[in-house]
Amino acid sequence: MSTPTVVRPEVAGADVSPGRRAGRRSPLGPVVRWVLLIIAIVVALLPFLWMLRTALGPSQTAIDQSAALLPSSITFDNFNNAWYGVDLGRALVNGVLVSGSVLILQLFTSVTAGYAFACLRFRGRNVLFVLVLIGMLIPPQTVAVPNYVTISGLGLADTRFGLVLPFAANAIGIFLMRQYMSTVPTTLLESARMDGLGTWRTLWRVVLPQCTPAVAAVATFSFLVNFNEYLWPLLVARSPVNYTPPLALATFTTSAGLPDFAQLSAAALIISLPSLVVFLVAQRKLTAGLAGSGAAV
């Protein structure tokens, strides 16, 4: 059986009628749109560019009064100091390992649970789904200590596995997958059954290929959220060997004196790159996934 696809309506901007499109188009429209877009881009990118400028400049010029757009000289010392000062390389590896592991686990649980809620009929399905929705409403801070008690009881405190395990399932991921899978036509599922596919094969060979945007959305959110998680690593990762990037970054700050902004910027730049790459690579699917699941983009 080859992979089937289904027709979905265009999601955004699809209902612009030809009549509207043809008439009353102001020549100023595109200009205004471009100006607004450029302003938005500058506002969004300026902090990032400033971080880059600060990271590449000498430490002293990070808080220079002249505040020139370009540093007086280019140096990689700040990257070097940040890298070795708090063992950022190890923290980065930890961050990628932990976030990657969480991502894989969350994808598995979100896809299977979403499929069950969307495509399978069983007693208590709606009640269970409501429980999942309630899970979305619980602030993570309130479950941090109970989770820590459990993880410590399992002997996993101050381990990478302890950083991963509590996030193996994610209510928002299940919700997104369920919403997206609900749009898969019933006829397609019935056809799969008539072709002799069982539940698992229907999921992997029929439903999942239809849901790549939702999978991309869940994966991207999972990676970004967990890569930048602070509270849970603060409780669990006590040894420097288990620090994740946000913990390593926090060690730059002190209650007295200023942080070294140049090193801080260099460290922030380094740890933001994996997230940036993941987001930019997945952004197209991410938007489609969120739109298709009915979640706000």
Residue 157 to residues 137, 147, 154, 184, 231: CA-CA distances in angstroms? 26, 10, 8, 42, 14
77 binds another protein (CB under 8 A): yes
Contact, 57 vs 73, CB < 8 A? yes
Continuous segment of H or E residues that includes residue 193: helix 186-194
139 binds another protein (CB under 8 A): no
> Which of 53, 71, 78, 219 forms a contact with another protein (CB under 8 A)?
78
Both tokens of 15, joined, read: 């209902």
Report, in Å, the least distance between residue 82 CB and another protein: 7
CA dist 98 and 95 (Å) reads 5
Which of the residues 157 through 196 are near another protein (CB under 8 A)?
Answer: 157, 191-192, 194-195
CA dist 278 and 95 (Å) reads 13
Report, in Å, the least distance between residue 200 CB and another protein: 17
58 binds another protein (CB under 8 A): yes
Report, in Å, the least distance between residue 73 CB and another protein: 12
For another protein, which stretch binds (CB under 8 A), given 20-28, 88-96, 105-113, 120-128? Answer: 88-96
CA dist 247 and 253 (Å) reads 11
Report, in Å, the least distance between residue 83 CB and another protein: 4
Report, in Å, the least distance between residue 250 CB and another protein: 5
Report, in Å, the least distance between residue 276 CB and another protein: 7
Both tokens of 129, joined, read: 């789904």
For another protein, which stretch binds (CB under 8 A), given 3-11, 23-31, 33-41, 123-131? Answer: 3-11
- The smaller minimum CB distance to another protein, of residues 127 and 256, is found at 256
Which of the residues 105 through 134 are near another protein (CB under 8 A)?
Answer: none
CA-wise closest residue to 109 among 182, 175, 199: 175
65 binds another protein (CB under 8 A): yes
CA dist 153 and 206 (Å) reads 41
- The smaller minimum CB distance to another protein, of residues 8 and 100, is found at 8
Continuous segment of H or E residues that includes residue 139: none
Which of the residues 218 through 247 are near another protein (CB under 8 A)?
Answer: 233-235, 237-238, 243, 247
Both tokens of 203, joined, read: 């999921």
Report, in Å, the least distance between residue 49 CB and another protein: 14
153 binds another protein (CB under 8 A): yes
CA dist 228 and 276 (Å) reads 12
253 binds another protein (CB under 8 A): yes
> Which of 35, 120, 134, 258 forms a contact with another protein (CB under 8 A)?
258
Contact, 268 vs 275, CB < 8 A? no
CA dist 36 and 43 (Å) reads 11
> Which of 38, 68, 149, 241 forms a contact with another protein (CB under 8 A)?
149
> Which of 36, 63, 131, 138 forms a contact with another protein (CB under 8 A)?
63
Contact, 94 vs 160, CB < 8 A? yes
CA dist 281 and 223 (Å) reads 13
4 binds another protein (CB under 8 A): yes
